[in-house]
Amino acid sequence: MSQYNPLQQAIKDLDGCRTKNEKIEALNKAFKLFSQETSRLECAYLSLKNQFQAVYNELEHTNQTLEKKVLQLDTITRYLNGILTNISQGILFVDLSGTITTCNETAEKTLGISSMDVLLSQFWDTFKDDFFGFSMKKALAEREAPLVNYVHMITSQKQERELEVHTKFVLYSVDKKISPLDTLECIQGIIILFRDLSEFRYLQTLANRHDRLKELGEMAAMLAHEIRNPLGGIKGFASLLARDLKDNPHLSQMAHSIVEGADCLDNLVKNVLSYARPFKVYFKLCDILDLLKKIIDELKTTEILQSNIHIKIHSKFKKFHIPADPQLLKTALLNLILNAVQAMPKGGMINIDIEKNPDVGIIKIQDTGPGISKENLDKLFSPIFTTKPDGNGLGLCEVHKVIESHGGHLHVSSYEDLGTTFTIELPLRAFAGK
């Protein structure tokens, strides 16, 4: 308040003036002091205003810079989230407390889980401690886990998976006086990166099977030609022998048996040669439902389809067209249905499901037979392999070859005492071939 004393004193002196001149002089002095004080306040105001404007401009610049940084961070976050979402490998992040904080779409599909259920939950609420081939509790406690691991698993949808698992710990060294370690616990933990090798293994199996079938086909064709020449002579001489021995029924019957055996062998040779030759596929639009109904109707006219075996087609479509060779596809479907019938000598149910994916038509043929052992399942598409006393082991090979010639895939899954399912996947666009 001391800066106002001269003005206050001038006002006080004005009250003490006795003459008019003294009052005028005191009043002039007071006005001068007031003007000076007003000018000083105005300068101070202008200075304060300028300072405020400078601070405001600085804050505005800072805000703009921060907004740009936030926008950049948001762009980077969305970019990284896009990578995380669309990456072909599954990613889980488990923090040091065991909480799952990251789960991408591939992880959901591969493991058969939902991120809504697992995010921010404890790892052990969803998975076993050694689910990824090592103890998660021990790994988090010791901050160490195997860098690479291979795991076999079965999802909740009963699908087998073989996973290649990579792990990496994210840890920070922090001065505890400045920031306690547990304050960063949520961003420290283990990254679990995994990929499903099932499709890769399946393609490997297909490639190996294809090479093996090609070699066996070539060898079988060569042997078939070598067998066919003497076989014709055996059959011819046996027929002549049967004719000459018609007066001796016993010996004639033996000669006829030789002829029948030669015919069976000749049929086998024909099948082998047919298998060894490449298919010529003539594509046209086929209604799968109509084709299946015709096959079932034909079977009903024979003794093959007994009354204790029931076939049911499940489809939400009235018609289902696929580009295929009708004759070849009919042969393949008939072969699979006959296999299902023969797998149930005491009767049972055959369910045929017709489904559709965006680019693929799916036909599932499922029986309620005894199933196939794991050992035989691995050999199922090998030539000459059969579990039937009167089988030649070429039926499923031919089915596989037909489906492959259409650019499709044939899968089989079987559980002992539960039955077997053959799944055919055919492209909805005509396959150009190799």
SS3 content of the chain, % helix, strand, coil (to 5): 55, 20, 25
Closest CA to 352 of 304, 296, 416: 296
Closest CA to 190 of 125, 128, 127, 123: 123
Q: How far from each other are the two terminal CA atoms of the chain, in whole angstroms?
A: 100
Q: Is 206 a domain residue? A: no
- Using DSSP, state whether 302 is helix, strand or coil: coil
The answer on 353 and 416 residing in a single domain is yes
32-80 per-position pLDDT tens digit = 877 888 888 889 889 998 999 999 999 999 999 999 999 998 888 888 8
Task: Give me the number of domains the chain comprises.
Answer: 4
* Among the ranges given (23-27, 293-297, 310-314, 322-326), the one the predictor scored with the smallest mean pLDDT: 23-27
Q: Is 339 a domain residue? A: yes
211-265 per-position pLDDT tens digit = 776 776 677 677 777 777 787 788 888 888 888 888 888 888 888 888 888 877 7
Query: Which of these three, 29, 55, 86, is where a domain ends?
Result: 86
Q: Is the pLDDT reported for residue 99 higher than 90? A: yes
Do 231 and 223 meet the contact criterion of CB atoms below 8 Å apart?
no
pTM: 0.50
Query: Which of these three, 228, 249, 276, is where a domain ends?
Result: 276
Query: Which of these three, 201, 227, 257, is where a domain ends?
Result: 201
Structure tokens at 69: 């940084």
Residue 431 binned pLDDT confidence (cut-offs 50, 70, 90): low
The answer on 96 and 43 residing in a single domain is no
The answer on 235 and 114 residing in a single domain is no
The answer on 24 and 11 residing in a single domain is yes
